[in-house]
Structure 1
Amino acid sequence: MMTNLFSSFDPMIYYFNMSLNWISITLGMMLIPSLYWLIPSRSYKLWSNILFILHKEFSILMNSNHKGSSFIFISLFSYIMYNNFLGLFPYIFTSSSHMSFTLTLALPLWLSFMIYGWINHTQHMFAHLVPQGTPAILMPFMVCIETISNLIRPLTLAVRLAANMIAGHLLLTLLGNTGPTLNSLLLIQLLIFSQILLLILEMAVSIIQSYVFAVLSTLYSSEVI
């Protein structure tokens, strides 16, 4: 039971002595037709409007004069959302449910912010360790708390994305495993209806979690720029 339950998250499935699971993160290059990019269709216009809204919002959050810096986070949002949606298809490896994938995105991004901030804005980074208005007796404790909160940021980003992806997929799998034990009436009325609702919820979670990941990364960058 537990082996079947977690088999969709197993990254060690081999075909012809090759691990093909992680290739799923590059399937978009083959699935998205070239006409989507060459001809301004309705899908293209819809996606362009979404990117324009994200660009304005990320630019406001960063509050910087570095033109084009918001496109880093737009690309991050698009890539995570694509992988989240891809994991909803049957028999496709859910890469965004693994810490090796989410930490690969969160850790280098956070580390680059920290290195840039401490080299170029050292006094500004020290000022962030002690919030304004903190009593003198509490300053050593606030420095420890702020330092720990800064160090665990990439871990919280990675765990939040992976945990939300795993939770929804496991719930869908658990409900799907109850299908053989139900009669046809309950199968149609209860199980299929609940699975459709959960699938819609998972689609919303895929968008929300990719948006949260990108927004939090943007807020972290705004502290060092």
Structure 2
Amino acid sequence: MVSLFSIFEPSSGIFNLSLNWLSTFLGLLCVPYMYWVSSSRWLYIWSVVLRSLFNEFKVLLGPHQSKTGVVFVSLFSFIVFNNVLGLFPYIFTSSSHLAMTLSLSLPLWVTLMVYGWLNLSQHMFAHLVPQGTPGLLMPFMVLIETISNVIRPGTLAVRLAANMIAGHLLLTLLGGTGVGLSLVFLYFLLLAQILLLVLESAVAVIQSYVFAVLSTLYVSEIN
């Protein structure tokens, strides 16, 4: 039997070079719309969304790091393009792979840790022990806070990949049962697939937002 996860393997390609990962850069095709003389309605809606996100990130980052909100708006745009494009048929969903999600979360976390421990060591040590912690619990709190800090890039990566791969697996499982169904049940299956596709579209946007907001919160802790 073929594994269900084989549909997520980047196997298609030529000369032993996987071409599925090129779908990661399909979002760049949407960039030229920004240079049109007359803006479309979709471009206006997208600019309103990005402006609202940037204002929200400025509040989270504080006045000293407000300009870095552009980085997280770009991160949100990159992830949401990959998530939404992965819902189309025959387009590889790169955001459902840990190799992709870890390459986004791990460099960000390592950069924050290096910058924080080199420049704000006292501030970083203070974060390991919450205010008001009894003296007997301090060693345990340091251990717990250290573990929670170390697993942050992993939780960011796994959250995004697991949410994207779960919905795609459910759509694949339901789609595979349509061969032996009668016409009446086929209509119900089609309706369920449409509803799941709408749900997956919402999940694609929400998970991009969650990834960007959590990354912003991690940066705000360093301030």
Corresponding residue number in structure 1 for 2:208: 210
Q: Does the 8 Å CA contact 1:77/1:213 hold for their aligned counterparts? A: yes
How far did 1:17 drift?
3.1
Give the residue type in structure 2 aligned to 1:200: V
TM-score by length of 2: 0.95
Corresponding residue number in structure 1 for 2:68: 69
How far did 1:35 drift?
4.0
- Residues in 2 aligned to 1:163 and 1:183: alpha-carbon distance in whole angstroms: 33
Q: Secondary structure at the match of 1:65?
A: coil
Corresponding residue number in structure 2 for 1:194: 192
- Residues in 1 aligned to 2:6 and 2:15: alpha-carbon distance in whole angstroms: 19
- Residues in 1 aligned to 2:203 and 2:66: alpha-carbon distance in whole angstroms: 30
Within-5 A mapping of 1:83-162:
83-162=82-161
Comparing 32-41 and 110-119, the one that deviates more:
32-41
Q: Does the 8 Å CA contact 1:64/1:222 hold for their aligned counterparts? A: no
> Aligned residue pairs: how many?
222
Give the residue type in structure 2 aligned to 1:162: A
How far did 1:45 drift?
1.2
How far did 1:37 drift?
3.1
Corresponding residue number in structure 1 for 2:49: 50
Q: Does the 8 Å CA contact 1:8/1:91 hold for their aligned counterparts? A: no
TM-score by length of 1: 0.94
Q: Does the 8 Å CA contact 2:57/2:66 hold for their aligned counterparts? A: no
Query: In 2 relative to 1, CA 33–213 (structure 1 residues): closer, same or farther, beyond 3 Å?
Result: closer
Q: Secondary structure at the match of 1:69?
A: helix
How far did 1:67 drift?
4.1
- Residues in 2 aligned to 1:51 and 1:138: alpha-carbon distance in whole angstroms: 43
Query: In 2 relative to 1, CA 177–41 (structure 1 residues): closer, same or farther, beyond 3 Å?
Result: same
**Identity among equivalent pairs (%):** 61
Q: Does the 8 Å CA contact 1:22/1:95 hold for their aligned counterparts? A: yes
Per-residue CA distance 1:124-170 (angstroms, 9 max, x = gap): 10000000000000000000000000000000000000000010000
- Structure 1: gaps (5+ residues): none
Give the residue type in structure 2 aligned to 1:176: G
- Residues in 2 aligned to 1:78 and 1:35: alpha-carbon distance in whole angstroms: 14
How far did 1:33 drift?
6.9
Per-residue CA distance 1:48-78 (angstroms, 9 max, x = gap): 1101110111111112323421010000000
Query: In 2 relative to 1, CA 217–33 (structure 1 residues): closer, same or farther, beyond 3 Å?
Result: closer
